[in-house]
Homo-oligomer: A and B are copies of this chain.
Amino acid sequence: MKIISAVVLAASSLVFSSAANAQFAKAEDAIKYRKNALFVMSQHYGRIGAMVNGRVPFDAKAAAENAAIAESMSKLPWAGFGAGTDKGDTKAKPEIWTEQAKFKENGDKMMAEMTKLSAAAKTGNLDSIKTAFAATSDTCKTCHDAYRAK
């Protein structure tokens, strides 16, 4: 059994090693990368939220710019959730790696809604932006509830 475990461990390390060659030098870089990408996204997303919620005046140009950046950023974090990146300075729950298909589905939904938000923001119609923002926020909440520790 010990030999089998060692082989499994070696195999999973290998998965990260080869992913790391292509992507990240070490697991902590992958963790930092996904957190950093999500934080940058959240800052731009939050500026749209401030307009949607009336905390700042609606500025169609700023909304469109921020939504375009948030949309671009929404594509990045997923590469940082590779095998071997479950331990470290992270609130990511183990379920991300045991329910990979479901986690991916959550990410795909978020990206799809973020794309709709960016399209809505380009029209300059605040009501459309509000609808798309609410739908996008739902995908954030669903994923955080399931996959992020409090």
Contacts and interface: CB of A to CB of B under 8 A. Distances in A.
Interface of A: 21-25, 29, 32-33, 35-37, 39-40, 43, 46-47, 56, 62, 69, 72, 76
Contacts of A72: 72
Tell me the number of copies of this protein: 2
Q: Do most interface residues of chain A lie in helix, strand or loop, or is the interface mixed? A: helix
B22 A56 contact: yes
B37 A40 contact: yes
A63 B46 CA distance: 31
A33 B40 contact: yes
22 contacts: A21-B56, A22-B47, A22-B56, A22-B62, A23-B47, A24-B43, A25-B46, A29-B43, A32-B39, A33-B39, A33-B40, A33-B43, A35-B36, A36-B36, A36-B37, A36-B39, A36-B40, A37-B40, A40-B40, A40-B76, A69-B76, A72-B72
